[in-house]
Amino acid sequence: MTNPILSDWTTPFEIAPFDTIADSDFSPALDTALEAHNAQIDAIADNPDAPTFANTVEALEAAGEQLDKVLSVFFTVAGADSNPTREELQRDFSPKLAAHFSGISSNKALFQRLADLWARKDDLGLTDEQARVLMLTHRGFVRAGAALTGDADTRMQAIKARLASLGTSFTQNLLADEREWFMPLSEDDLEGLPDFVVDAARAAGQEKGADGPVVTLSRSIIVPFLQFSPRRDLREVAYKAWTARGANGGETDNREIAAEILSLREERAKLLGYDNFAAYKLETEMARTPDKVRDLLMQVWEPAKARADVDAEILTQMMQVDGVNGPLAAWDWRYYAEKRRKAEHDLDEAALKPYLQLDRMIEAAFACANRLFGLEFAPLDVPLYHPDCRAWEVTRNSQHVAVFIGDYFARGSKRSGAWCSAMRSQAKFPKAQAPVVINVCNFAKGDPALLSYDDARTLFHEFGHALHQMLSDVTYESISGTSVARDFVELPSQLYEHWLEVPEVLAEFATHADTGAPMPQDMLDKVLKAANFDQGFQTVEYVASALVDLEFHDGAAPADPMATQAQVLEGLGMLPAIGMRHATPHFAHVFAGDGYSSGYYSYMWSEVMDADAFAAFEEAGGAFDPDRAKALEENILSTGGSREAEELYLAFRGRLPGVEALLKGRGLIAA
C-alpha cells in the first residue's frame, strides 16, 4: 500500500491529504525520503562531469522533493496539533535529520564542486539570481562546516545533532508545562471579569475536562485575566505559573538545557573561526555585528525605561488608592494599566472587544491585500489537519496565486505564540509551484470569537508574513518568500500591522458582534489615540529579552544562564514590576532552534524600517497609494532573498531610516 505522504497528491492544488495520513505513516515516509535524498546527493557529488551551475546548484535545488513533503506535513501538525505519538516522533526525527543534513554539508566531493564553481563564478555567465543562489549555497556550506576536516568535522556533526535534540526537548518541555497547568475558578472568582474573559475561561475548562471555568497559560486567556481580575491573590498565582514555564524542576525543566545549548553554540562558532556565536550568527544579517545591535537596543532602552519609570509611579499611586500597600508587583501592572487606560482614554477593552470579531478582522486583512495588491480570497472546502482550520484560494486577475490556511484558536495540542509557515514555497524551478501558506495563532474561542486589539495586530502581523510568501516571484525555492535575513524578515509583517490602524479599515470592519453597527467614531478616535498606550512597559519587556539574548551569545557561554540573565537585568535597572517578555526557561525564539538566537533584536531592527516604510505611503497618496503598493511588492514582497536586504529596502525607499522613526512610532519621543 502506498504511503499517502509519498503518493502523488491529487487533492485540490496538491494540498497535503491530511484526511488519509496517519501518525504511523510518518516514520516509514521519512526513512524512504531520506534514502531517496541521499541517493540524489550522491549522484550530484559523484557526477563524473565537470561541475556546472545546472548539474550541481540546480541539481541541489531540485533534490529532496519527497523529504520536503514529509517534513512540511509533519512539522505542521507537530507544532499546531501535537500528541504523545508526534512528540515521540519529533524526538526521534530531530537527531536523524540533523545527521542527514550534516552529512550533506560535510560531503567533501559535493563541497569541492561548489568551491570550484565559486572560484569560477565570474566566468559562468550566470544571471543575477543564479549568482545569488550560488553565493548563498556556497556560503551555507562553509558556515555549516563543510571546509572542516578530521576531528573538527566529526565534532561539528556531533554538535549539530545534539543541538537538534536539545531544541526539541526545550520545545516539548515548554508545551508540557503550558498544557498541564491550569487554575480552576469558582463562580465568585469570576466577579469583575468581562463576559469575554468568562466565556474564554469556561471554554478552556471544557477543553481541560474541568468542572467549571479555568485560567490556562495560553496568552489569550492569561493576559486578559491579569488585566481584569480584581483578585490580586489569583493574579499572583497565575502570573507566577506563567513565568515559571520551563523552570519548575523535574523532567520539564529547561535551565540546564539552555546552558548546554549556549555552550555548544559557542563551540560551534569557534570551530568555524569566530570569536563567539553572535559574531558568527550576525555576519549574514543586516546588523552585521553585535555592537550595532547593542547600539540600536540601547538607543531604544533609555527613553522606554524613562517612560516606564514614570508609568510605574502612576500605577503605584493607583494601587495605593485601592488600599494595597507595598511595591507594585509584576502581577499588578496589567490590571492597573487597564484601569488607567479606561480612565485616561475612556477606552474599555470589554466594550471594545465586540467590535473586533475574528471573522471581520480576517475580512479586513483580506480586503487590505485586495486594495493594495489585487488579491482575492475564496473559501476552500478541503480536508485539513484540525477542525479549527480554514482554507482559502488566493487569486489575482482570476489566476491562482496561493492557498492560505488559517488556524486561529488556542488548544492544548498547540505550542504557544503565533507563526507563519509555508507547506510549499513558491518556485519556478524545477517546475512552477504556487505556495501553500499557514498562519497559526492562539486566540480564545467564542461564539463569535472576539479579539483584543493586540490579537488583531497579531492577525495582521502574521498575514504580513503570509503575503511575503504568497507574492514571492523568484525562480529558486531556496530564496523564495521569507528566505531573507532574519532582521529583515519581520519588515513585511510589522509593516502590515499599520493597516489595522487605518481609520477607514476600522470604520468598515470593526462592527459590533450583536448589532452589526460600526464602531462609533468616538470609540474609533479613542482606539487610535490609545494605540501607543503603555509603550514603556511593552518596549522594556521586549528590549530586556533582546539584550539578554545578545549577552548570552556575545562572549563566553555562561555556565549559569539564569545568573547572567539576572546580571543583565540588574545592570539595565530593570523595573521589578516588569518581567522579560520571554525569560530564559521559556525563551523558545532563542532555544527551540537557531532561528532567533542572538537575533531576537530582529523585530526592533525591522520596526525601524516598518515605521519609515509606512510613512512612505502617508507621504504619497495615503495608506492605499497604488504606486507605493506596487513598489513594495516589486522591491520587497516578490523578491525573497534574491538580493541583499539593504539593497531591497533602498530600492523601495531610496534611503535607510534612523531609529527616530521607531521612537516616534511608539510615542517614546515627540512626533
pLDDT at residue 194 in the model: 94
- What's residue 521's pLDDT? 93
Asked if residue 195 belongs to a domain, the reply is yes
Q: How does pLDDT run across 87-145, given as a tens digit for each residue?
A: 999 999 999 999 999 999 999 999 999 999 999 999 999 999 999 999 999 999 999 99
CB crowding 619-641: b at 16 or more within 10 Å, else e: eeeebbbeebbebbbebbbbbbb
Mean pLDDT over the full length of the chain: 96
- Over range 74-97, report the average pLDDT: 96
**DSSP-based three-state secondary structure for 240:** helix
Q: Quick one: what percent of the chain has pLDDT higher than 90?
A: 96
Domain final residue pick, 202, 228, 245: 245
Decide if pLDDT at 23 tops 90. yes
**DSSP codes of every residue in 428-461:** -SSS-B--EEEEEEEEPP-SS-B--HHHHHHHHH
Q: Residue 33 carries which DSSP code?
A: H
Residue 594 CA to its chain's centroid (Å): 13
- Structural domain ending residue among the three candidates 226, 245, 264: 245
C-alpha span between 518 and 526 (Å, rounded): 14
Q: What's the CA gap between 330 and 314, in Å, rounded?
A: 15
CATH for 632 = 1.10.1370.40
* Residue 647 grid cell: 539593497
Our measurement of the distance from residue 179's CA atom to the centroid of its chain's CA atoms, rounded to an integer in Å, reads 20
Over residues 149-187, the pLDDT tens digits come to 999 999 999 999 999 999 999 999 999 999 999 999 999
| Same domain membership, residue 235 and residue 86 | no
**Are residues 336 and 403 both part of a single domain?**
no
DSSP state, 355? G
Task: Over range 182-209, report the average pLDDT.
Answer: 95
- Residue 170 in grid coordinates: 526545550
18, three cell numbers: 491530511
Beta carbons of 472 and 642 less than 8 angstroms apart: no
- The CA radius of gyration of the chain, in Å to the nearest whole number, is 25
Residue 61 lies in a domain: yes
CB 384 within 8 A of CB 18: yes
**Sign of the torsion formed by the C-alpha atoms of 221, 227, 233 and 238:** positive
CA–CA gap between residue 548 and residue 586 (Å, rounded): 13
Catalytic residues: 462
Quote the CA–CA distance of 326 and 260 in Å, as a whole number.
Answer: 39
**For range 620-639, the mean pLDDT:** 98
Residue 110 shares a structural domain with residue 154: yes
Please identify which residue in the block is written with the cell numbers 490602524.
Answer: 501
Backbone phi, psi, residue 105, to 5°: -70, -20
- Greater confidence (671 vs 437) lies with 437
Lowest mean pLDDT among 53-57, 335-339, 592-596: 592-596
User: What per-residue confidence (pLDDT) applies to 420?
Assistant: 98
Contacts of 228 by beta carbon, 8 Å cutoff, 6+ apart:
192, 193, 194, 197, 335, 338, 349, 350
- Residue 366 C-alpha cell reads as 483580506
Helix axes 219-228, 195-208, angle to 10 degrees: 140
H/E segment holding residue 403: strand 399-409
* 3 within some domain: no
Beta strands in 11-147 (DSSP E): none
Residue 123 lies in a domain: yes
CB 386 within 8 A of CB 407: yes
Distance CA 603, CA 286 (A): 12
Specify if 1 maps to a domain.
Answer: no
Q: Are residues 596 and 608 in the same domain?
A: no
Residue closest to 297 by CA, chosen among 538, 590, 602: 602
22 and 150 share one domain: yes
More confident residue, 173 or 595: 173
> What per-residue confidence (pLDDT) applies to 661?
83
Domain limits for position 275: 251-347+535-600
Kindly report the three-state secondary structure assignment for every residue of 200-227: HHHHHHHHHCCCCCEEECCHHHHHHHHH
Q: What is the CATH number of the domain that holds 263?
A: 1.10.1370.10
Q: Are residues 506 and 564 in the same domain?
A: no
Q: Are residues 267 and 297 in the same domain?
A: yes
Phi-psi category of residue 288: left, alpha or beta, with phi > 0 → left and psi -120 to 50 → alpha: left
The pLDDT assigned to 665 comes to 85
Final residue belonging to a domain, choices 175, 197, 213: 175
Residue 369 lies in a domain: yes
> At 442, phi and psi to the nearest 5?
-135, 60
pLDDT value for 650: 97
Let me know whether 637 and 507 are in one domain: yes
Give the number of domains in the chain.
Answer: 4
The per-residue pLDDT for 616 is 95
Same-domain status, 556 and 521: no
Three cell numbers written together for 358: 475574528
- pLDDT above 80 for 1: no
Residue 670's pLDDT band, with cuts at 50, 70 and 90, is confident
Give the whole-angstrom CA distance, residue 17 versus residue 507.
Answer: 39
Instruction: Kindly report, residue by residue over 412-437, the tens digit of the pLDDT.
Output: 999 989 999 999 999 999 999 999 99
Asked whether residue 5 is assigned to any structural domain, the reply reads no
The gap from C-alpha 664 to its chain's centroid, in whole angstroms, comes to: 24
- Run of H or E including 10: none
495 shares its domain with 430: yes
Q: Is 598 left (phi over 0), alpha (psi -120 to 50) or beta?
A: left
Looking at the structure, tell me whether residues 140 and 236 fall in a common domain: no
Residue 670 lies in a domain: no
134 touches 57 (CB < 8 A)? yes
pLDDT tens column, 345-369: 998 888 999 999 999 999 999 999 9
Measured at the CA of 480, the angle between CA 475 and CA 485, to 5 degrees, comes to 135
**Which residues fall within 8 angstroms of residue 272, CB to CB, at 6 or more apart?**
143, 145, 148, 280
> Which of 130-144, 443-457, 652-666 has the largest mean confidence?
130-144
Residues 124 and 160 both lie in one domain: yes
Tell me the C-alpha distance between 208 and 182, whole Å. Answer: 8
Contacts by 339-347, CB closer than 8 A, 24 or more apart: 340/314, 340/315, 341/530, 341/533, 341/534, 344/533, 345/526, 345/529, 345/530, 345/533, 346/526, 347/523, 347/526, 347/527, 347/530
